């Protein structure tokens, strides 16, 4: 998959795609109906047009983090779906100021030279979100590209949505989130240096930051882990603590992952951590011995849950 971060001066092979357009936060089942429709709409290479940062982050930079995945995780997920071109356009004053007509002409027709564009029925675009999916369809007819509008997808009377997935994760309901996503919710990023308390307690952990991401329910999870880079690339199982470490007075949430039966060096490598099952809430213990005993129980329970995965 090729990633393009501008819509001007593209090489000829990067133009002319059949593009699914949206934010695709989570790349959930609803998003995949749009992507599949873009694949079916044309024989052209499959493209995704999205924005970085998310427009909500641009317009409300001080709002609480809401994203289900960062740009790296989104790109990794999209690459698994056979996307040939990811147009990850920089969202700022220029794009925010384009009218729907200017966006369709300058970005879609002249910049990307799209063969076809597919959007969800609730799609809005352009300055002040003035353009709708129907607006785009009219502009496509004028500018020479086709537009497919995909009805919202869902199950049990409810649409698949990033909002519903965030609500499920906030409850610690990883199974409900998986049903809507079509895959386990994953946290991806680089392993950073921590305070190495886990190593001192006999439970060494790989530490990852949660900056900019929606926080699932804080607590301990059984996890499936993919090591994405480095000499030990491959799948692992483990147990992870997501939270603020109340035993040690730390207030910044992070993810600490213990990989079962692993003893390598992961600093600077990138992990993809799937939250499979919520085990328990964060807690403060009377002693380090009590904490270690609970960690032993957490590890055993995670192994039981992940057996066969």
256 part of the active site: yes
Give the whole-angstrom CA distance, residue 219 versus residue 240.
8
Q: Which two tokens stand for residue 7?
A: 């819509």
DSSP 8-state code for residue 209: E
* Catalytic pick among 256, 286, 289, 301: 256
What beta strand segments (E) does the chain contain? 2-4, 18-21, 46-52, 85-90, 116-120, 124-125, 131-132, 146-150, 154-155, 158-159, 186-190, 206-209, 219-227, 234-243, 254-259, 270-281
CB 31 within 8 A of CB 119: no
Q: Is the dihedral of CA 242, 245, 246, 247 positive or negative?
A: positive
As annotated, the active-site residues are 256
């Amino acid at each position: 998959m090729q990633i393009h971060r501008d819509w001007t001066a593209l090489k000829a092979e990067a133009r002319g795609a059949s593009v699914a357009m949206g934010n695709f936060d989570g790349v959930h089942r609803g998003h995949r109906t749009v992507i599949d429709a873009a694949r079916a709409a044309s024989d052209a290479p499959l493209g995704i047009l999205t924005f970085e940062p998310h427009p909500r982050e641009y317009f409300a930079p001080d709002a609480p983090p809401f994203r289900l995945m960062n740009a790296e995780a989104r790109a990794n997920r999209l690459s698994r779906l056979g996307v040939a071109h990811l147009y990850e356009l920089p969202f700022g004053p220029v794009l925010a100021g384009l009218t729907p007509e200017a966006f369709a002409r300058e970005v879609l027709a002249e910049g990307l030279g799209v063969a076809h564009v597919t959007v969800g029925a609730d799609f809005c675009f352009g300055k002040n979100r003035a353009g709708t999916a129907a607006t785009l369809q009219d502009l496509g007819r004028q500018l020479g590209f086709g537009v497919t509008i995909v009805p919202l997808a869902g199950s049990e009377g409810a649409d698949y949505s990033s909002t519903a997935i965030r609500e499920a994760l906030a409850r610690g309901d990883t199974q409900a989130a998986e049903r809507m996503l079509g895959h386990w919710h994953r946290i991806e990023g680089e392993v950073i240096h921590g305070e190495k308390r886990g190593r001192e307690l006999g439970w060494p952990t790989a530490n990852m930051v949660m900056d900019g991401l929606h926080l699932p329910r804080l607590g301990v999870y059984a996890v499936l882990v993919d090591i994405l880079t480095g000499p030990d690339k491959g799948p692992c199982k483990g147990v992870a603590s997501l939270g603020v470490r109340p035993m040690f007075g730390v207030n910044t949430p992070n993810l600490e992952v213990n990989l079962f039966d692993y003893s390598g060096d992961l600093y600077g490598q990138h992990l993809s951590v799937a939250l499979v099952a919520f085990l328990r809430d964060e807690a403060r213990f009377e002693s380090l011995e009590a904490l270690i005993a609970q960690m032993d129980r957490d590890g055993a329970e995670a192994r039981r849950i992940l057996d066969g995965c």
